[in-house]
Each structure stands twice: as structure tokens, then as C-alpha cells.
């Protein structure tokens, strides 16, 4: 085997961008701007370089690149991709057949069929086959090669799949790689398995375990590994005994560990296994030379008709470094940062400022070894042309945590980051790729590095033209894989930087997008370099809905109270905030001359008047706005001559008011009109912030503004998309409500925001008022007097009052006198009314408004913790039972039975449930009161002390329960609950909201965290995290399915009661994006369980399998469900839309089930 030390030919390639649709006025403006900046100097010269081959172990651990989930056709019929494919490319472009001239003197044609995930192997394989076919009859061993390749996603198309099966039927060799989507894996297996014994060789490199069983090289067959008594078999059994997930997981571990296993095998029995490993090395080498030798090796060893190849000498794989630093102009690849810097700092072609920002780039190794790196070279050159130094790293697998630690820290001080910003150009999670991620490991690595982390995207499943022409932008499935997963690591700014050629499959630079990525990366890096006293920050407040006196408002947030806290924090940190007002009210009055100020009026302070010539000079896309708004200045945010920017400057901080949508009579019009655009005043505001005020960062304050909802592609902005144009190159920080991850995700993806969560105020019981309160008092009097002669009169009063309060619409009330019904029936009537009153009284309403950086009051903490404590949590360690469950057990009752009886109006259980509810509140109140400071708010120090003293004195909850019927509650289980509540209280009172802002402004990494309901998922706490949604392939979780089971049973039972004992045949349900994020897919699971289907994870933990629940186990009919999906759910959960469709079809196809037990089939 030849190991090349790192020498390689310099690459100076930049692929030309494909011509796209006619440029808009805005694009023309940007082109002029690029020319003015001298962008032409950054064009690279075309060239190629030799491929690089990974070491053996790395080859085995290389995870998949980007498996694609289920298809949902989002294009109209007749469009280029109406067949449901992401791309309209034809597999025939990958077919190479030897010509008659090439076959002269040759006797054998070997046919090779391959399936790969991405297209970068296409050019290398085609070149390798052409080189083989161009050999003469002697040096080719009399063999010609026919090859045809399929991208994995193309197999979804019925016509392509039929062609694939025909090709496999006539093939000698089958090759598969990175097949990690179960439904597509099944298609591959169905086509290849019947031909496996006939095929001369079948090679499957890291893929789903079921696909890897297809491997066959002579005696080497992974399908038999578990049956023999070989060293490999022993290895498999050992992994099983270690509980590593059964055969499938053991097989994946075997692939990673095979090199170390082979050395124990006798050489005469290991040749086929060695050939498999040799093939892996050739394959992952990727260059045309390596792939040519790979094909020769397989044909020589396993194709009987290629016997003449025995005399042909085949070169060993050329192996390059597994991990290293690559640069298009470097004479070598470097495995040490010092060596790289020795070359870099002595370059003759470039000089850098002493304090130049340093940007780290993360690259995919396969693009380098296959020579498909022009888009990487263009990014490096653009950064350097802007004055930034670049450290581009790569690794053999997709675990980049090791290379990050090795290459991104200062060689003279290993505790200090050498880079100022990291931009991943892979489009994948930092650790593990799309098949199996390790987000905690990635987060720990990035926290240690502590610099901003951006993840830019190459187009994978679309050609450049398809993306450019699409109003959707990046397809939702690629969003799930290459946007949602990196967000779990804390990745920011999903900007597309490269396209894909439909004919060659090669990547090419999208230069205007690369400019955006590079300018923004440098701005993030500058936050680490610039002195605090010189930094400029723009705080943007909103006015929505317009013309309602709502300037400076946001969901659940005291905006100006919070801004005042932020300004004080900035002042303490050394920022120039000028002369601050004494109070937050004075601050508000300095920006708004009226506390109920309306936008575009004299009530707002004018911070800047921008003349029309200045506006036209600075805003390069303003002509594109004229179609909707006429020439500048227009009629909004103007005095007739100038464009007005509302707000006020405080030193280096500008508090500005974001302009309205512009369509005051119909503010939603802008969201739905394809031809709409922001008005000149809106464009002038962001033009002022970037080019006049020259903000180093903008802070959008609260949920939510309108920037992220401006017209443009949904995800994967082009330079013709207004959110991209408006935000420009300014780092965008955004305080967003923790309970709204779905819209925070829109802000993150469309306006490139680092969304930092803030705590929503806790929900408190709504209480009763007027007639309802009087009715409650009547119910209370009945409970004490029901056996007296006044009992019947009180029931009559309750019925009359209930009718006055319109409760007769929700409760069955007798029409006659109460004396005509039995006492038990009177109890049921009163119990049903009482249950409804409790339901109304306990409805939750948010109490107050949150202030950034302000700990909650005792009342707010009680409301939050009571709700947290009410839920059973089997998923935590140790598992915790909710307080209602424990209190019910203490009186020998089951809480589920109490709930059911309360629903039926059983008076005793209605009372018992109310007693349990009040006891829970009393216990939590006593607990919280231990941590209250003099100002009535929770003191962090007290919470910490309380945790340490737990058990040292009588627990506060014990005092509370001793006054109730629940004093026998299990002490051990109660301690678990209150230890958990103490932890939750610590998270609630942590001041991470202000701290995260300060970190972001220092150019540091803001730790990511889930958004959602902090009651259901306390992992949302502490707030101040960089909000992400969730892995869309991971829902519904097993915990969500368990919770959904309880809800479905209760719902069907209640509907059965309301339906005279008959099961409901149809239930309607709405699937909301935010709700499913908060509950990890609980409502999605409810739909499936109603029809009697259980979602199941595959071998890699992704939920894409279904299991039909037999009627005997279900114990009821399959309920038909009418589902309405929100747009956010549709776009975020394309996988689950398909899963839902498959679940309904599975239920409907059970022809042996009677119609009265399968309403899905019946309808």
C-alpha cells in the first residue's frame, strides 16, 4: 500500500455558475456592488488536483451524508419535478457504455450498477470507466466496463425503479453506499436480493444493516457472519452480550472495527475479507485512479469472464491523511496546525493585517478526494479577499469534534481558540451525520471552542436551476436533514453557498451567496475583535398589529422594562449607552411621545431623516420595490421629502421602531402575495441600521416582528429574497418566547437569527366571577345540606342558575323539578355542574409580563411548579410520579379512575379531585416560600441552600400535607418529586437571558436548547438558550406515544358516553407545528393510535416504521380521523406527513376486519 505524505497538486478551481432566470433589479444592484468591491479579483483559475484517500479505520466509520426521508410532492402537475422527485435529473447521464472502437480486441464487458446518496462520485466513476475503456486489449485484460448509477432518491420514481431492476438483472457487479433510509433500503433489497447469488460481486459500503447483508465477495458474506464460529462471529456475539442494540448495531460496529479483526484471521481464509477492505479503501479514496483500480480488482478476482486480467498489475490504493487542513493554493495537506501556519504566514500572494479575523471552515472529505472542491476554493478565496485568514479542515468521517479540537485551538495556548468563527460547509451535524448524531458531544466541543458556529449548505437534491426557480427554496426534506439537525448543535444561518450541475453532478460556487456567507462570518468574527466601548448595537422594537397603539409590545414580554435591564447590563459591561433615563417609563417616553403611540405618527421620535438620493445610493434593491410602492419616498415613513427612521440613540445603542408591513388595512397581505414587497420605509430602516448607524449587531426584541415574514423563499434564501436583503451582513440576535419554537425557527432560518429564549409568564387559574361564583356557592351549600329538606330547593336553584350561565349547553340538566328525580340522580346533576365549574375555574391564563433577567415572583413560581408537578415523568431518571397520582394513592385510589368518575359527574370524586388539586398547590406553595426573598421574588441563593438542606429538617411539603387527608403520601416518592421541583426552580431563576445576549455580543457560542412548553419539558429551562425545534425524524417519541395512549383512551371513552354508549366513527383533529414540537409528536401519535397503528423506530432510531395493532389488543374499533394540518406542521414534518398517510392506508387495507370494527375501511 502506498501512503502519500500529503503532497498534492494545487487546486485553483472555481466552477462557473449555471445561468439562471433573468436577474431582478435587485440582483443587478448587487452585481454592481460586487464589481465596485473588486470581486473580479477573486475569480479562481480552473484546474484539478489528485484525490486523497482516507485511512482504513476512517473509511469504516464514515457515516452517511444525507439520507432523504419520505417524499411529498410539493410542486404542481406539469412542473419539471411533478413526478415527486427533488430533482429532474435522469440516471442515464450516469450510464457509460464502451464504444465499438473501445472494445476492439476485447472479449468481455463487465456491467456495474451503483446506488449512491450524493452525486460527487459520478464524475470520478465516469472518468475511471472511460480510462479503463480507453486501454488497449492487453492492459485492460480484454475487459470493457459498462456502468450506470442511480442517486438513492431517484429510486422513488416508478419508472427509474423499473430501469434499476432491469439493470441489476443484467449486472455483474452491484455497489451501494450510504443507504440509510429504510423505505429506500427496502427498494434496493427487493431489487438486488433475488439477483445476489447470480451476481459475481455485491459490495455495500456503510449503510443500513439490512442492506449490508447483501455483501458478497467470494466466501465473504455478511449475511452469514452471525452463524459461523469465526473471530468475526465471536466479535458479533460479544457486542450482543454488551447490549449494543442486537444484530444490526453489532454489524455497524463490525464495519467500524473490521480492520483490527482481520489481522487475527488466517491469510488463506481472509483473502475475500481483505478484498472487501481493499475495496473500501479504493472507494473512499474517490479519485478516478483509485476507482479505476477498484473496478479492476473486483473484476479480476470475481468475474469469471475476466480471466485475462490475471496478468494485469493493479496499483495499491493511494492513502491520504484521515484528518487535516486543506487549502486550494497549498503545496500539501497538513496534519498539524503549526505546519499549516508556517506555510500560510509566509505566502507571497497574500498579506494580512496583524489582527485579521480567522475563520475556520469545515469541509466534506469526499468532495476533496473526488476533485469536486471548486465551491470550497471559492469560499476560501472570498474570505481572504475580505482580509480574513482561513483554516479549512476535513476528516475521514463526519465526526468533526476531533479535528475541531486538534486544529482550531491556538498551538501556543491550548485553552484559547485560534479561530474567531467557524463555518461548516458540509450541511450536516458536527458529529455523526444524518444517520446517527451525537448532539451533546457536538455541543460540548463547541462550548469549549466558544465561537459563533454557522452551517452553510450545498444543494444536494436539487439542481441550481430548480432551486432558483422554486418559491419553496430548499426542499423541506433537505431542510430536515441539513438545517434542522445542525440547529440542534447550535448552528446558525442556513445559507446555500453552492449548486449542483444536472449533467455532471459536480458542485459549483454560487458567488453571490458565498459573498453573503463570508461577509456575515467576518461580522461575527469582528464581534470578538472589536473593543466593547466601540461596539454599536441596534435594539429593534415592533408595532403589531399596526395602528392599534401597540408600538413596543411583544408576546408575554414587558418590552421597555426589559430593554432598560439590557441597557443597564450593557452599561455595566462597558458599552457606551450615553445618558440613560432614570426609569424604564422615562426610557419609553423618550422613544414614544405617547404610551399608546401609533406608528407613522407624531407620537414617535424621529431619529434620522434619510434623503431620497442617499437612500438610492445605499439601498441597492430599492428599484425592485417600485412595482408595489412607486418611486421613493412613497407614502409611508416619510414627511413627503425624506424617509423617516423612528427611534432614539443612546450613545452607541440605537433603539429603533421597526416599520409596519405597510398594508394597514390588510397587514397579512404581505405574507400571502407573491408579488408583494416591503415598502421604502421598511427598506430605509434596515439601510440606516447597516450603512448609516453602522451597527455591529441588531437585537430584535420579543415575539415577533415582520422581517422574517417578508416575501422570499421559505428556506434557503437567494439574493432576491427580502429577508436576506434587509438583514444584509448584520449579525441578528433575537429574543423569542420560549414556548414558540415553530415561529422562532422561521426567524432563525429566514432572517439568520440567533434566537435566544425568554421565559413566558406562568399560567394561573382563571377563577370564577359573577354568576359562576354564585353557582359555585350554591354547589358548596348543597354538599352540606343535600340530606335536609332544603336539598331539593338548592338543586332547583343550581339548575336555574346553570341555565342563566349557559351551562346547559355543556351539562345535561333535567327539564322538570328536582323532586321528580332520585337523590343519586340529583348528585350526578350537581356533580356535573361542579365539574364544569372547576374546569372553567382551572383554565390557565398567563399572569403578568416577563422582564428579561428578572427572577419570578413567589406566585409565578408556584403556578409554574404546580403544573410541572402534575405530570408523571417515566422518561426521567429516576422515574417520577406526579403529585396527583401520589396523593390519590395515599387514599387508596387510582387517579385515572378519579378523572373518569369526575368526567361522569360523580360528586364524591369531583370533590376528591378538587381536594387533590388544592393539596398540590398548598404543598408547592410551602416549598416555594422557603426560597422567597424580601422583595417577594425567588432568591437563587435560597434555592441552592434549600437543595442542600433537603432532609435536614421537616420538609415544607410535609407540613402542608399534614393538614389534609393525604398525609400518608409515600415519603420516598414525594422526595423525588420535590428534588425534581427544586432542580426546576433553580433553572427558572437562572439569569441566562441577559448572559446569553452578552455572550453573543462578545462573539461567543450561545448554547442551544429546545423550545416548547417548560411545564411539559423542563429541558427548555433555563431560558436564554439558542432555541431550536427538534429532530423531525425522531417524532413521535416513545414517551409521546405513551402520553397519547392515555389521551386517546380518555377521549374515546368520553365520546362514547356522549354518544349513548356507541363508539364515535369519526373524530376531527388539527395538527399544529408548535404543539407537536412542544409535545414531541403527541398529537401525531394520537391520530395513529385512533386508527390502531403504532409508530416504531428503525434500526437507527428514526421513526419511520409502523405496526398494526390487532383488534384483539386494541379492544375497540379503529376510529376514522379527519386531519387538518397547519402550514408549519406540513413544512417541518414532511416525514411524518408520509408516515401519517401510510398509517391510514395500513388501517384501511385490513379487508378481513368487519366494517363495524374498522371505521377507516367502512368510510
Q: Kindly write down the DSSP assignment for every residue of 1078-1109, as one continuous string.
A: HHTSHHHHHHHHHTTEEEEE-TTS-EEEEEEP
Residue 745: all three cell numbers together:
425557527
> Pick from 141, 130, 132, 137: which is nearest to 95 by CA?
130
Which residues make beta-bridge pairs with 362? Answer: 393, 424
Place of cell 488466517: 266
Which are the contacts of 1063, defined by CB distance < 8 A and separation ≥ 6?
1052, 1055, 1056, 1116, 1117, 1119, 1159
DSSP bridge pairs for 765:
844
* Alpha-carbon span 254 to 895, nearest angstrom: 48
State phi, psi for 1083 to the nearest 5 degrees.
-70, -30
Chain centroid to CA 681: 33
Q: How far is CA 811 from CA 805, 807, 834, 905, 1064, in A?
A: 11, 6, 10, 10, 19
**Cα distances (Å, whole numbers) of residue 798 to 779, 817, 838:** 7, 12, 15
The residues with which 489 forms a beta bridge, in sequence order, are none
Distance CA 973, CA 976 (A): 5
Q: Are residues 499 and 422 in contact, defined by beta-carbon separation less than 8 angstroms?
A: no
d(CA 497, CA 521): 13
What pLDDT, on the 0 to 100 scale, is given for residue 286?
Answer: 87
Q: Are strands 409-410 and 606-610 parallel, antiparallel or unpaired?
A: unpaired
Crossing angle of helices 559-572 and 992-1001, in 10° steps, is: 60
Cα dist. 857→735, 852, 926, 992 in Å? Answer: 21, 14, 14, 17
Q: Judge contact between 676 and 711, C-beta under 8 A.
A: yes
- Residue 998: predicted pLDDT: 96
Spatial CA neighbour of 88 closest among 469, 522, 458, 530: 469
Q: What is the pLDDT, as a whole number, of residue 832? A: 83
Distance of CA 18 to the CA centre of its chain: 30
Distance CA 687, CA 327 (A): 36
Beta strands in 833-946, from DSSP E residues, in sequence order: 844-846
pLDDT along the chain (1163 residues), means of 10: 32 30 36 36 30 27 30 35 52 92 92 90 92 91 94 88 96 91 88 95 88 89 55 46 38 50 58 85 88 93 87 84 91 93 91 94 91 94 96 87 94 92 92 76 94 94 86 78 88 94 88 96 96 96 65 85 94 94 89 59 81 95 91 89 93 93 60 74 96 96 88 90 95 93 90 93 68 78 74 84 81 79 81 80 73 82 85 83 92 89 81 88 86 66 52 72 88 89 84 92 94 82 88 78 88 86 91 81 91 82 84 92 84 79 90 91 90
Angle between helix 120-133 and 288-302 (nearest 10)? 60
Question: What are the tens digits of pLDDT across the range 956-972?
Answer: 888 888 888 898 888 88
**Are 937 and 856 a contacting pair, CB within 8 Å?**
yes
* Cis peptide bond prior to 534, omega within 30° of 0: no
CA atoms of 912 and 918, how far apart (whole Å): 10
Report CA-CA distances (Å) from 202 to 34, 154, 197, 255, 835.
Answer: 51, 20, 9, 16, 67
| Residue-level length of the chain | 1163
Give the C-alpha separation, 580 to 594, whole Å: 19
Distances in Å between the alpha carbon of 171 and those of 27, 146, 166?
49, 9, 9
The helix/strand/coil state of 807 is helix
Alpha carbon distance 147, 946 (integer Å)? 71
For residue 758, what are the β-bridge partners? 737
3-class DSSP state of 730:
coil
Sorted by sequence, the CB contacts under 8 Å of residue 585 that are 6+ apart come out as 560
Bridge partners for 2 per DSSP:
318
Give, rounded to a whole angstrom, the gap between the first and last alpha carbons of the chain.
66
Is-contact 615 643, C-beta < 8 A?
Answer: yes
- Per-residue model confidence (pLDDT) at position 462: 81
pLDDT of residue 178: 83
3-state secondary structure of 56: helix
Q: Which of 436, 364, 361, 440 is nearest to 404 (CA)?
A: 361
3-class DSSP state for residue 150? Answer: strand
Grid-cell match 447483501, residue found: 214
Query: What's the sign of the alpha-carbon dihedral 462, 464, 470, 471?
Result: positive
**What phi and psi values does residue 901 have, to the nearest 5 degrees?**
-65, -35
Amino acid at each position: 500500500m502506498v501512503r502519500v505524505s500529503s503532497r498534492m497538486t494545487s487546486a485553483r478551481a472555481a466552477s462557473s455558475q449555471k445561468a439562471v432566470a433573468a436577474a431582478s433589479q435587485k440582483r443587478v444592484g448587487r452585481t454592481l456592488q460586487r464589481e465596485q468591491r473588486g470581486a473580479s479579483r477573486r475569480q479562481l483559475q480552473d484546474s484539478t488536483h489528485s484525490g486523497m484517500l482516507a485511512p482504513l479505520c476512517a473509511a469504516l466509520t464514515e457515516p452517511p451524508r444525507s439520507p432523504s426521508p419520505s417524499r411529498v410532492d410539493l410542486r404542481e402537475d406539469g412542473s419539471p419535478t411533478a413526478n415527486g422527485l427533488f430533482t429532474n435529473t435522469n440516471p442515464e447521464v450516469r450510464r457509460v457504455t464502451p464504444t465499438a472502437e473501445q472494445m476492439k480486441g476485447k472479449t468481455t464487458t463487465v456491467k456495474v450498477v451503483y446506488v449512491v446518496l450524493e452525486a460527487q462520485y459520478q464524475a470520478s466513476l465516469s472518468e475511471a470507466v472511460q480510462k479503463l475503456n480507453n486501454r488497449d486489449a492487453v492492459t485492460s485484460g480484454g475487459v470493457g466496463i459498462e456502468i450506470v448509477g442511480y442517486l438513492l432518491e431517484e429510486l422513488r420514481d416508478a419508472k427509474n425503479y423499473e430501469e434499476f431492476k432491469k439493470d441489476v438483472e443484467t449486472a455483474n457487479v452491484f455497489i451501494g453506499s450510504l443507504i440509510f433510509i429504510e423505505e429506500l433500503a427496502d427498494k434496493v433489497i427487493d431489487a438486488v436480493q433475488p439477483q445476489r447469488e447470480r451476481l459475481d460481486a455485491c459490495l455495500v459500503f456503510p449503510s443500513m444493516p439490512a442492506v449490508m447483508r447483501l455483501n458478497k465477495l467470494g466466501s465473504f458474506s455478511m449475511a452469514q457472519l452471525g452463524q459461523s464460529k469465526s473471530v468475526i462471529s465471536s466479535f458479533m456475539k460479544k457486542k450482543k452480550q454488551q447490549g449494543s442494540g442486537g444484530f444490526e448495531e453489532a454489524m455497524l460496529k463490525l464495519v467500524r472495527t473490521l480492520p483490527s479483526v482481520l489481522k487475527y484471521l488466517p491469510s488463506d481464509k481472509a483473502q475475500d475479507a481483505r478484498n472487501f477492505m481493499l475495496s473500501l479503501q479504493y472507494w473512499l479514496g474517490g479519485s478516478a485512479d483509485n476507482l479505476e483500480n477498484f473496478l479492476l480488482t473486483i473484476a479480476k478476482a470475481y468475474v469469471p469472464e475476466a480471466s485475462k486480467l490475471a496478468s494485469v498489475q493493479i496499483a495499491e490504493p493511494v492513502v491520504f491523511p484521515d484528518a487535516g487542513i486543506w487549502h486550494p493554493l497549498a503545496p500539501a495537506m497538513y496534519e498539524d496546525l503549526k505546519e499549516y501556519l508556517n506555510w500560510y504566514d509566509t505566502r507571497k500572494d497574500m498579506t494580512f493585517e496583524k489582527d485579521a479575523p480567522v475563520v475556520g471552515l469545515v469541509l466534506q472529505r469526499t468532495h476533496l478526494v473526488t476533485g469536486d472542491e471548486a465551491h470550497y476554493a471559492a469560499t476560501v478565496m472570498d474570505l481572504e479577499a475580505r482580509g480574513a485568514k482561513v483554516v479549512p479542515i476535513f476528516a475521514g468521517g463526519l465526526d468533526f469534534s476531533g479535528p475541531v479540537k486538534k486544529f482550531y485551538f491556538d498551538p501556543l495556548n491550548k485553552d484559547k481558540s485560534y479561530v474567531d468563527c467557524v463555518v461548516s460547509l458540509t450541511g450536516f451535524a458536527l458529529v455523526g451525520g444524518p444517520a446517527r448524531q451525537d448532539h451533546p458531544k457536538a455541543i460540548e466541543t463547541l462550548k469549549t471552542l466558544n465561537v459563533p458556529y454557522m452551517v452553510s449548505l450545498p444543494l444536494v437534491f436539487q439542481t441550481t436551476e430548480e432551486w432558483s426557480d422554486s418559491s419553496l427554496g430548499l426542499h423541506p426534506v433537505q431542510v430536515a436533514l441539513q438545517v434542522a439537525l445542525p440547529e440542534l448543535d447550535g448552528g446558525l444561518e442556513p445559507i446555500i453557498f453552492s449548486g449542483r450541475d444536472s449533467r455532471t453532478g459536480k458542485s459549483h460556487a454560487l458567488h453571490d451567496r458565498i459573498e453573503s456567507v463570508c461577509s456575515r462570518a467576518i461580522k461575527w468574527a469582528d464581534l470578538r475583535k472589536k473593543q466593547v466601548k466601540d461596539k454599536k448595537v441596534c435594539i429593534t422594537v415592533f408595532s403589531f398589529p399596526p395602528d392599534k397603539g401597540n408600538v413596543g409590545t411583544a408576546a408575554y414580554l414587558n418590552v421597555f422594562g426589559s430593554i432598560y435591564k439590557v441597557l443597564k447590563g450593557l452599561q455595566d459591561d462597558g458599552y457606551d449607552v450615553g445618558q440613560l433615563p432614570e426609569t424604564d417609563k422615562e426610557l419609553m417616553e423618550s422613544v414614544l411621545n405617547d404610551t399608546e403611540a401609533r406608528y407613522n405618527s407624531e407620537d414617535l421620535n424621529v431619529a434620522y431623516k434619510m434623503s431620497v438620493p442617499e437612500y438610492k445610493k445605499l439601498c441597492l434593491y430599492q428599484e425592485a420595490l417600485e412595482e408595489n410602492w412607486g418611486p421613493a419616498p412613497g407614502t409611508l415613513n416619510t414627511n413627503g421629502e425624506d424617509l423617516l427612521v423612528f427611534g432614539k440613540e443612546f450613545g452607541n445603542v440605537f433603539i429603533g421602531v421597526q416599520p409596519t408591513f405597510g398594508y394597514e388595512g390588510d397587514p397579512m397581505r404581505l405574507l400571502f402575495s407573491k408579488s408583494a414587497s416591503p415598502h421604502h420605509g421598511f427598506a430605509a430602516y434596515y439601510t440606516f441600521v447597516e450603512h448609516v448607524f453602522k451597527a455591529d449587531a441588531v437585537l430584535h426584541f420579543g415575539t415577533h416582528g415582520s422581517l422574517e415574514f417578508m416575501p422570499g423563499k421559505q428556506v434557503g434564501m437567494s439574493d432576491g429574497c427580502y429577508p436576506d436583503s434587509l438583514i444584509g451582513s448584520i449579525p441578528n440576535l433575537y429574543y423569542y418566547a420560549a414556548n414558540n419554537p415553530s415561529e422562532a425557527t422561521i426567524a432563525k432560518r429566514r432572517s439568520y437569527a440567533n434566537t435566544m429564549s425568554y421565559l413566558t409568564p406562568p399560567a394561573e387559574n382563571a377563577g370564577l366571577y359573577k354568576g359562576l361564583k354564585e353557582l359555585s356557592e350554591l354547589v358548596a351549600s348543597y354538599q352540606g345540606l343535600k340530606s335536609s329538606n332544603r336539598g331539593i330547593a338548592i338543586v332547583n336553584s343550581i339548575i336555574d342558575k346553570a341555565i342563566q350561565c349557559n351551562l346547559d349547553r355543556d351539562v345535561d340538566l333535567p327539564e322538570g323539578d328536582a323532586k321528580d328525580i332520585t337523590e343519586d340522580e340529583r348528585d350526578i346533576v350537581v356533580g356535573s355542574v361542579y365539574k364544569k365549574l372547576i374546569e372553567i375555574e382551572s383554565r390557565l391564563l398567563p399572569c403578568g409580563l416577563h422582564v428579561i433577567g428578572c427572577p419570578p415572583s413567589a406566585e409565578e413560581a408556584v403556578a409554574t411548579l404546580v403544573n410541572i408537578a402534575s405530570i408523571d415523568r417515566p422518561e426521567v431518571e429516576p422515574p417520577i410520579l406526579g403529585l396527583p397520582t401520589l396523593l390519590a394513592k395515599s387514599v387508596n385510589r387510582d387517579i385515572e379512575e378519579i378523572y373518569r368518575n369526575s368526567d361522569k359527574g360523580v360528586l364524591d370524586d369531583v370533590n376528591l379531585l378538587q381536594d387533590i388539586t388544592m393539596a398540590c398547590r398548598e404543598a408547592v406553595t410551602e416549598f416555594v416560600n422557603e426560597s422567597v426573598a424580601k422583595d417577594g421574588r425567588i432568591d437563587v441563593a435560597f434555592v441552592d441552600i434549600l437543595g442542600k438542606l433537603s432532609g435536614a429538617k421537616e420538609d415544607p411539603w410535609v407540613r402542608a400535607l399534614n393538614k389534609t387527608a393525604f398525609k400518608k403520601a409515600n415519603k420516598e416518592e414525594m422526595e423525588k418529586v420535590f428534588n425534581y421541583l427544586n432542580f426546576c426552580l433553580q433553572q427558572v431563576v437562572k439569569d441566562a437571558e441577559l448572559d446569553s445576549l452578552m455572550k453573543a455580543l462578545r462573539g461567543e457560542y450561545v448554547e442551544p436548547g429546545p423550545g416548547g412548553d417548560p411545564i411539559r419539558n423542563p429541558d427548555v429551562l433555563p431560558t436564554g438558550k439558542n432555541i431550536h425545534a427538534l429532530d423531525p425524524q425522531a417524532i413521535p417519541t416513545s414517551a409521546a406515544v405513551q402520553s397519547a395512549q392515555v389521551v386517546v383512551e380518555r377521549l374515546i371513552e368520553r365520546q362514547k358516553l356522549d354518544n349513548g354508549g356507541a363508539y364515535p366513527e369519526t373524530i376531527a383533529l388539527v395538527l399544529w407545528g408548535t404543539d407537536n414540537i412542544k409535545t414531541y409528536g403527541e398529537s401525531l401519535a394520537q391520530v395513529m393510535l385512533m386508527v390502531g397503528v403504532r409508530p416504531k423506530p428503525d434500526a437507527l432510531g428514526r421513526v419511520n416504521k409502523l405496526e398494526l395493532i390487532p383488534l384483539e389488543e386494541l379492544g375497540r374499533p379503529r376510529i376514522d380521523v379527519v386531519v387538518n394540518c397547519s402550514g408549519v406542521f406540513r413544512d417541518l414534518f414532511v416525514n411524518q406527513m408520509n408516515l401519517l398517510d401510510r398509517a391510514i392506508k395500513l388501517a384501511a387495507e385490513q379487508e378481513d376486519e368487519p366494517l363495524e370494527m374498522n371505521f377507516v375501511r367502512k368510510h
